Amino acid sequence: MQLRKNDALVIVDVQNDFCAGGSLATADGEEVAATLSTVARQFSQKNLRIFATQDWHPEGHSSFQAQGGPWPQHCVEDSAGAAFHPNLRLPVGSSIVRKGSDTNVDAYSGFLDSNLEELLRAAEAKRLVVGGIATEYCVLNTVLDARKLGFDTYVLKDAIAAVNVEEGDGAAAIKKMEDAGATLIAAGDLSETSR
């Protein structure tokens, strides 16, 4: 896949709480962070836009088990768990998109409870390359919404990590993304921008 002018990279929730040692850890979060750093550098070198979403929950968010939700407390605003994983090195000029700050909205999708669509439209993005955490929740919903909004969407199959509450959840999510019209690629498939 040749990178071109209207491409944008969307990095979904590569945060400490979703990586080893976090309250809602995936098995490969640190590797995802490192791979996305390499991809982000490629985009930056070609002056292409990078958007990184960040779960940013208030204390007592409705998704937390203490409030009757399904998840342990995670990504509380301004906490160490909400910070991007140190393996994720975002180039200067990357846009940070916070979501889930409404107590009552879980905001699995990067487009929900955020200004991501507005930022992508302003950047005249047409094709999105998406990676991040977790495959079957925030990556899946971000990709499904991107397709509904008409973006040509590519998923970095080697830069996503699943929670796999039930065995096979991640694989099922990948099939749903493909069924919605997303294309699976590897980070190594990205090549120089055509001029």
Residue 194 has pLDDT above 70, yes or no: no
Active site residues: 13, 99, 138
The per-residue pLDDT for range 51-105, each reduced to its tens digit, is 999 999 999 999 999 999 999 999 999 999 999 999 999 999 999 999 999 999 9
Residue 46 has pLDDT above 70, yes or no: yes
Q: In terms of Cα–Cα distance, which of 116, 126, 92 is closest to 4?
A: 126
What 3 state SS string does 77-99 have? Answer: CCCHHHCECCCCCCCCCCEEEEE
Tokens coding 42: 């490629």
Cα distance between residue 186 and residue 130, in whole Å: 11
Domains and their CATH numbers in the chain: 7-189 (3.40.50.850)
